[in-house]
Copies of this chain bind each other. A is one copy, B any other.
Amino acid sequence: MKIGILGTGMVGQTIAEKLVQLGHEVMMGTRDKQATLAKTGKDNFGRSAFSEWIKKNSKIQLGSYSEAADFGEFLVNATSGMGSVAALKVAGENYLANKVLLDISNPLDFSKGMPPSLTICNTDSLGEQIQRTFPKTKVVKSLNTINAYLMTNPKLLPEPTNIFLNGNDANAKTEVKKLLTSFGWNEKDIIDMGDISTARGTEQILPIWIRLMGTLQTPIFNFKIVVGKK
């Protein structure tokens, strides 16, 4: 499959590497290609600059947001949540139309320091905002409740855990589920929560997720839902 990934950060890179391993063709999209490639040194998390990373991942193409959105038959939103709607607008509504968009973003506002707050919550969600802004796009929210390394490697955890799907289009959710199982997720552990408004719940996990990362001293954890016998 030809897949366009919007966003060149850790989430975008991790997903891109896995997709290429699985035999997909990948183009990553960025706001300013020159600026993205010009960065050097390590980032705040100690990771190499994008220009170093892309050298090691030469099968992955880099384009503008529009080029990546045009390229992909299937799209991934891995931009940071505060800028996601703007980035998708730059990509262009026509390139997004009639495609599945796997939305991994979270509406986190780090501008006032740690812990971040949410820019949207409670009676709305970023997933819904994206779906409303691009009504012809089939938005499916998933993977936003875990660290990037776990997204493509759920077996990093000692036992199976759960991830969620939120979206209006059943076929789009089936496509996303297929991709997730190819990443190593068990189909039975992927919980379809319902329409895109259920993204309110999965996005509002972030506040406890961030605090747990501090308490547990690692981002490598996830929630397993344990159900009683009926």
Residues of A within 8 A of B (CB): 117-118, 121-123, 150, 156-159, 161, 164, 191-194, 198, 200-202, 204-205, 207-212, 214-218, 220-230
Contacts and interface: CB of A to CB of B under 8 A. Distances in A.
Nearest to A224: B224
Given A122-B118, A204-B121, A223-B223, A215 B229 contact: no
A141 to B, nearest CB: 12
B225 A221 contact: yes
Copy number in the complex reads 2
A109 B218 CA distance: 34
A185 to B, nearest CB: 14
A202 B194 contact: no
B228 A221 contact: yes
A150 B223 CA distance: 18
A218 B230 contact: yes
Given A205-B208, A207-B204, A210-B201, A215 B227 contact: no
Contact of A222 (B157, B202, B226): B226
Contact of A226 (B164, B200, B221): B221
